[in-house]
Amino acid sequence: MSELVTGEAVALELRPARLPSRGLATLLDLVVAFTAYVVVSVVVVVTTASLDDAAQIALSIATFLLVLVGGPIAVETLSHGRSLGKMACGLRVVRDDGGPIRFRHALVRGAIGVVEILLTLGVVACIASLVSARGRRLGDVFAGTLVVRERVPAARSGFVPPPPPWLAGRFQGLDLSAVPDGLWLAVRQYLGRMGQLDPQVGWAMAVRLAGELAACTGVPVPQGVPPAAYLAAVVQERQVREARRAFGGGPVAVPVVGAGGAAMAYGPPAAAHVPPVVAGGGAPEEPAVDRSSGPGTGFAPPA
């Protein structure tokens, strides 16, 4: 099994698709696209038989660009990375940080795909996919995307814990547009693996990531909020916004249970003073924490 790994040596639970499954998905997409191209071309030839040769050539070129280039771009944009072939093979195109692609990503992939798939019969795409450690073709490299497998065993998928209930919806007004994708990726990796880290290392990493995130948003971490809880709340807010954009702005369910199905009791912040996280990643002094409320959740600093 192949996984994505960040600079912190934390595995991301997205399985990059390999050449056989990608090749089959691309073949299915090409069959559909060429079938549509033939149908549209026949209709254009029949309806423009009275035009001169120059006009017919121009219409032929326009039909080629519209159906074989514009069609796949439109499908990937509207379906958020799932063309017909990818749906059949259980694949999806995502950004490097695991988020849904947008029009600019599909445009770059489609434009470069004309050369490495259509004009070279897929030879360039196959070579690039074999050379790449994550099976990416040139269009994925320039667009900053990755084709991943969606059909993976549920028991092996990662779990990013939700924030404490008292933080739900607290960061709705936060401006997240300046946060780079690389920082989102590092935060998600930390939240998914913080239970496996040494407490001291995990606390220091949470402080650093919370400081960097606060510096990008321009708003400091609220007083009394543990850095890991702050990270989880902001990531959840971003996921809610992405889901609203993807599904038309409807209501989005917020997870409140753990991986095992039991409710996660985080409770309010400890009564003891917890120094604020310094924007930019500065480490605070060792705080005193009341642990009488129950077992640790990973959102409290180590002893």
pLDDT digits 0-9 by tens, 48-96: 888 888 888 898 899 999 999 999 999 999 998 989 999 999 899 998 8
| 29-39: burial string, b at 16+ Cβ within 10 Å, e else | bbebbeeebee
Under a CB-based contact definition with an 8 Å cutoff, are residues 91 and 17 in contact?
Answer: yes
**H or E element: which one contains 216?**
helix 199-217
CA distance 287 to 303: 9
Model confidence band, residue 198 (pLDDT cutoffs 50, 70, 90) = confident
Q: How many CA atoms lie within 13 A of 262 on its CB side?
A: 4
SS3 state at 263:
strand
pLDDT of residue 283: 43
Count of beta carbons in the 10 Å neighbourhood of residue 90: 15
Report the share of the chain in percent with pLDDT over 90: 27
Under a CB-based contact definition with an 8 Å cutoff, are residues 217 and 178 in contact?
Answer: yes
pLDDT digits 0-9 by tens, 3-38: 444 433 333 456 788 889 999 999 999 999 999 999
pLDDT digits 0-9 by tens, 227-268: 888 898 898 888 888 877 766 555 555 554 443 333 333 333
pLDDT of residue 29: 93
pLDDT digits 0-9 by tens, 132-168: 888 899 999 999 998 988 765 444 445 667 888 888 7
- The CA-atom distances, in angstroms, between 166 and each of 35, 103, 116, 269 are 54, 36, 51, 9
pLDDT of residue 107: 94
pLDDT of residue 27: 93
DSSP 86-118: HHHHTEEEEETTSPBP-HHHHHHHHHHHIIIII
Report, as an integer, the average pLDDT of 201-213.
89
SS3 state at 288:
coil
pLDDT of residue 173: 85
Report the share of the chain in percent with pLDDT over 70: 73
Report, as an integer, the average pLDDT of 178-206.
85
